[in-house]
Chains A and B, each alone.
Chain A
Amino acid sequence: MATWWDMLEVARDVDLRAVKRAYAAKLKSIRQDEDPKGFMALRAAYDEAREHIRYREMETEDTVVRQEPFERDTDTSHDSTSIQDNIADSEWKMQGQDELIIADMVYTPTIVEQLMNEVHALIRSPWGAGRVDSWAAILDDERLDDIDAYSDFENAFLNYMLNIHGFFDEDTNVESKLNLAVAHLIFERFGWQSNRNSVHFNPVVYDWLADKFFQQNEDTPHGDLDEIDGETDSGANAKNSSHSQFNQRGQKKKPNPKTEKFFKWFDGNGVFYLFLTMIALMVLYYTFGSNS
């Protein structure tokens, strides 16, 4: 099997621009409809090359951040950098049910932060968990019309919900903090059920949250929204049924399938997220740590 640099006929340390150019040149000599195999091999090499370069760039960035910890940006506009978003995320992550570190901020919070404060206040207010209209008001806020603000808000919101329900500390005993109507509203507004395979998040987190939210008043082990006619066949009576012809090879019942699935996903993408979280923590430390 040829390596990507052999396939693309480039040096191993090329930059993305050169990889694209090489790919484009090769692509023009292949007919996708007549030689799908040739195309797929070229495409695989191209994907691999990009992945390689992305990884390499991440390593470089890592050292840059290590050398010069940056000041917190005081920009009040919504278009914050992704690093900042992750700072924001990790604040909610760390603070969880307690106070948000917004009090001693010297700058105007971003739109996402403002809205997350509203979310937090609503969760803590006595009737907040059930007030559909208040939740809808936040989720329909017109400031979220902005495509970037919306992305950041969805990120932050999901992380916050996962956090207060014990996802990050493996605490499965935390009860849902929202009533069913609100939970349905949230899943519907973000489209979490219909778009569960978004590249952005792992499906596992949606399923975990769905279980948490929707199992409260239902007896079934899987309380997903879409579990309408999910049926359980025992080995014996399923023999001639048209359903259940397969099991996933090698999949055995594990004590905590959620954890297992999460770590399986983590092998693939986790390094990247872990890395972002680490930067976020470092920045937090530099900004706040020395004062307290």
Chain B
Amino acid sequence: MSIVGIDLGTTNSLISVFTDDGPELIPNALGDFLTPSAVGLSDNGEVLVGQAAKNRLVTHPQLTQSRFKRYMGTNWGQKLGRKHYRAEDLSALVLASLKADAEAHLGAPVERAIISVPAYFNDVQRKATLAAGQIAGLKVERLINEPTAAALAYGLNDKEGESTFLVIDLGGGTFDVSILEMFDGVMEVRASAGDAFLGGEDFTDVVTKHFAEKLDVNLDKMSVKKAAMLRDLADQAKAKLSSEHEVSFKFIDDKSNEQTLSLTRNKFEELTEGLLKKLRHPIQRAVMDAGLRAENIDQVVLVGGATRMPVVRSLIARMFKTFPVHNINPDHVIVMGAAVQAGLVSRHSALDDIVMTDVCPFTLGTEMSIEIGRDQYESGHFQPVIERNTVIPVSRSVRNSTVHKGQTQLNLLIYQGEAPRVSSNVFLGQVNVPIPKNTKEHEVVDIRFTYDVSGVLEVLVKVLSTDKVSRLVIEGNPGALSKTEIDARFKELDKLKVHPRDEVVNVAFMARLAKAYENHLGEMRQEIQHMITVFEAVLARQNKHEISEVREEIEPHLKAFEDRNIF
């Protein structure tokens, strides 16, 4: 049985499988490789995932959710209908939809998967991704860092050579930079840096805000529907600016007036200057961490849909005095790499001579107190156990002693980050260890951190005097789900009624019609209304052949309306 590779993105998700001919992308019910990471409820309360849900973001913003990857591993949640959903649940619904697509395509059940995560995802976010997989009924064999996956996709083309390359991965919501070295079939990640909260969506936000200012409206005070419409148009404008120098579109404001807005590439560059500055830091850091000069880097590879923006490309070109490479469609790279990883895990014979090693992209450690005087301790210091960019899997230990004689409990706080004080680092969780009462001396413990190939952390604490080892799973982080919670959510989501896969095409089409209706006024609106009526009528007759005929008939007219909107 094959293992699938999944790119669970902020904006879009993809699924693939490794075949004898290499990685193969699997289309969804609409025939697209990209499934928007959007989840919503249909009018009769059934779950919709992908393009249909994305289109309904504009017409039914209260019933639809997107961009939830940013909230993985947090207590964020939203109501859809009567149910409360966490980011893990929504992600699980996207995963389940991809799983169904793969099963339809392969004609066999799919149970095992490799899921990609941003290299900069912390331990809590990684565990949340694993949980989402479990909720969707998948056994997640391994998580793979997105830039590493990208390197696997690119590296496969060049198995023999020895080269160093830099992968710049700007997705919808996250930004990763990795430096990879390849030799004799070994792909080795040397350094990773990034920003878990920077991506193409931020560029869209900046443009949306700019348009709101131009319209002289307050985004927060706009109706949810209008705000969603404006953002949708801003997103299209952004995409169009990658090929045009100026873009205009029509927007129907709160007072039903049609406004024409436009944006030039120069203005876009000006608006995104701050974001571009945030981009350059992790790149610089990764290069410096690996001790490289520009001349040592053989290739700069661009990954992620947001790297299509010319502003991003020219920034990279200025930094490296070279033009970056993008031979593979930037949206497809990661999932292709995930498929390669799936091939490696299932020991596909085509990959016999390939090995990949990855690093831990951040420092992991504990809180400790430092003696600052006689019996005076200062808490809040960070004690690194595994330094960042250490090759994984890795296991390291430190020896500590209790602060007080006679102490019977040890409360170990675990953090991730690069700051000397834990207050500036990310809290991962805590573990409690019983300590034998010893009033004469300080008790000594060995703390061992083990970081596995998926980037999941395990902590072991051994009390030296008793030789007793406690194997500890980090719990207690406010954002993390426990095993029982995961099981409960799995059962709950399993009961949800998901919209039938073979009808998704029609729902997505209807959502497009509805969106076009919202975006137009007057006579044109009536015309679209007519199309909706015709389509609804044919849907009611339930003749599949007839439905697709009518759909194809309407398609060019609908397209014309959509194009009229943005030019």
A contact set with B: CB distance below 8 Å: 20-21, 23-25, 27-28, 32-33, 36, 39-40, 43, 79, 82, 145-148, 150-151, 154, 191, 193-200, 203, 207, 224, 226-236, 238-239, 241-249, 251-253
Q: Which of B320, B357, B363, B370 touches A247 (beta carbons < 8 Å)?
A: B370
Q: Are B378 and A40 in contact (CB under 8 A)?
A: no
The smallest C-beta distance from A122 to any residue of chain B, in angstroms, reads 21
Question: Which residues of B are found within 8 Å of A82, using beta-carbon distances?
Answer: 293
Asked if residues A151 and B287 are in contact (CB atoms below 8 Å), the reply is yes
Quote the shortest CB–CB distance from A9 to chain B (angstroms).
15
- Pair B185/A40 contact, Cβ less than 8 Å: no
**Residues on the A chain within 8 Å of B284, using CB:** 147, 150-151
If A197-B418, A228-B424, A233-B377 are given as contacts, then 4 extra A-B residue pairs at C-beta distance below 8 Å, sorted by A number, are A24-B186, A151-B288, A246-B410, A247-B403
A152 closest partner in B (C-beta): B293
Cross-chain pairs A/B with CB under 8 angstroms, 26 sampled:
A20-B186, A21-B183, A27-B186, A36-B453, A145-B315, A146-B318, A146-B319, A151-B284, A151-B287, A193-B424, A194-B424, A196-B419, A198-B289, A200-B289, A224-B421, A226-B421, A227-B423, A230-B379, A235-B377, A239-B407, A244-B378, A246-B368, A247-B369, A247-B401, A247-B403, A251-B370
Whether A244 lies near B421 (C-beta < 8 A) is no
A229 to B352 CA separation, bound complex (whole angstroms): 52
Q: With the chains together, A197 CA to B444 CA distance in Å?
A: 27
The chain B residue with its CB closest to the CB of A28 is: B355
Interface presence of B404 (CB below 8 A):
yes
A interface secondary structure, majority: loop
Whether A203 and B423, one on each chain, are in contact in the complex, defined by CB atoms closer than 8 angstroms, is no
CA distance A194 to B404 in the complex (A): 32
Task: Determine how close the nearest CB of chain B comes to the CB of A264; give it in whole angstroms.
Answer: 14
In the complex, how many angstroms separate the beta carbon of A4 from the nearest chain B beta carbon?
A: 15
A142's nearest neighbour on chain B, judged by CB, is B318
0 or 1 for each of B371-406: is its CB under 8 Å from A? (1 = yes)? 111011111100110011101011100011111100
Nearest A-chain residue to B380, judged by Cβ: A230
> Any chain A CB within 8 A of the CB of B105?
no
In-complex Cβ contact of B404 among A21, A40, A235 (8 A):
A235
| Residues 164 to 212 of chain B near chain A (Cβ within 8 Å) | 183-186
Give B residues with C-beta under 8 Å from A. Answer: 142, 162, 183-186, 280-281, 283-285, 287-289, 291, 293-295, 315, 318-321, 345, 352-353, 355, 357, 363, 366-373, 375-380, 383-384, 387-389, 391, 393-395, 399-404, 407, 410-413, 418-421, 423-424, 444, 450, 452-453
**Contact, CB under 8 Å: B399 / A246:** no
Contact A229 B403 (CB under 8 A): no
Residues of A within 8 A of B162 (CB): 20
Known: A32-B357, A39-B393, A235-B377. A246 touches B186 (CB 8 A): no
The smallest beta-carbon distance between A221 and chain B, in angstroms, is 9
Q: Are A230 and B355 in contact (CB under 8 A)?
A: no
Partner of B186, one of A23, A228, A232, A239: A23
Would you call B395 and A28 a contact (CB within 8 A)?
Answer: no
For the complex, give the distance between the alpha carbons of A200 and B185 in Å. 29
Do the beta carbons of A248 and B423 come within 8 Å of each other? no
The listed residue with most A CB atoms (<10 A of its CB), out of B288, B376, B401, is: B288
Chain A residue, CB-CB nearest to B281: A191
Known: A197-B363, A251-B371. A244 touches B377 (CB 8 A): yes
Q: CA of A66 to CA of B272 in the docked complex: distance in angstroms? A: 51
Which of A24, A203, A231, A233 is within 8 Å of B183, CB to CB? A24
Query: Cβ of B380 and Cβ of A243 under 8 Å apart?
Result: yes
Least CB distance from A94 to B in Å reads 25
| B393 in contact with A40 (CB, 8 Å) | yes
Q: Which residues of A contact B369 (CB under 8 A)?
A: 233, 238, 243-247
Name the B residues within 8 Å of A148 (CB-CB): 293-295
A-B CB proximity, top 6 nearest: A235-B375, A244-B379, A24-B184, A226-B424, A244-B369, A243-B379
Give the Cβ gap from A88 to chain B, nearest Cβ, in Å: 15
A27, A147, A232 pick with most chain B CB within 10 angstroms: A147
Q: Do the beta carbons of B423 and A194 come within 8 Å of each other?
A: no
Across the interface, do A235 and B289 meet the contact criterion of CB distance under 8 Å?
no
A227 vs B403: C-alpha distance when bound (angstroms)? 22
Min distance, Cβ A256 to any Cβ of chain B, angstroms: 14
A245: B residues at CB distance < 8 A: 369, 402-403, 407, 410-412
Nearest chain A residue, comparing its CB with the CB of B181 = A20
Residues of A within 8 Å of B389, CB to CB, are 199
A79 to chain B minimum Cβ distance, whole angstroms, is 7
| Cα distance, A24 to B188, chains bound together (Å) | 10
Measured CB to CB, the closest approach of chain B to A86, in angstroms, equals 14
B319 lies within 8 A of A32 (CB):
no
Which residues does chain B contribute within 8 Å of A32, judged by CB atoms? 357, 393, 453
Across the interface, do B372 and A253 meet the contact criterion of CB distance under 8 Å?
yes
Shortest Cβ distance from residue B42 to the other chain A in the assembled complex, whole angstroms: 41
Q: Which residues of A contact B400 (CB under 8 A)?
A: 246-249
Q: In the complex, what residues of A have CB within 8 A of residue B353's CB?
A: 28
- Say whether, besides A27-B186, A147-B294, A193-B419, A234 and B375 are in contact (CB < 8 Å): yes
